[in-house]
Amino acid sequence: MTKKEMIVYKRRWIRVQKIQELELQTLSMPLKFKQLCFLMDSFSLRPEGQIREKETKKISRRWLVLKERIGNGF
């Protein structure tokens, strides 16, 4: 990329950021919340999310075992 192309590219992304900021400012809170919920739900669809979920379950089981061994003394 030439210097001129980089400048044009950067200016374009600055405009995109401004447009995104305006959109966020005009969205209602219920819609923002709905979008957030969608993102949170879709996270488990990614392979990394599934791996993380399996690891979280393993850790939870380990904590239960430890808790049982010490007699629920937490």
Q: Cα–Cα distance between 31 and 11 in angstroms, integer?
A: 29
Check if the beta carbon of residue 49 is closer than 8 Å to that of residue 43: yes
pLDDT tens string, the chain, 74 residues long: the values are 899 999 999 999 999 999 999 988 998 989 989 988 888 888 777 777 677 778 888 988 988 888 888 876 55
| pLDDT value, residue 48 | 73
Question: Distance from first CA to last CA of the chain, Å, rounded?
Answer: 59
Residue 41: name the closest of 53, 26, 28, 56 by CA: 53
CA distances in angstroms from 63 to 30, 42, 58, 72, 74, listed in the order given: 37, 27, 9, 11, 11
**Domains of the chain, residue spans:** 1-43, 48-74
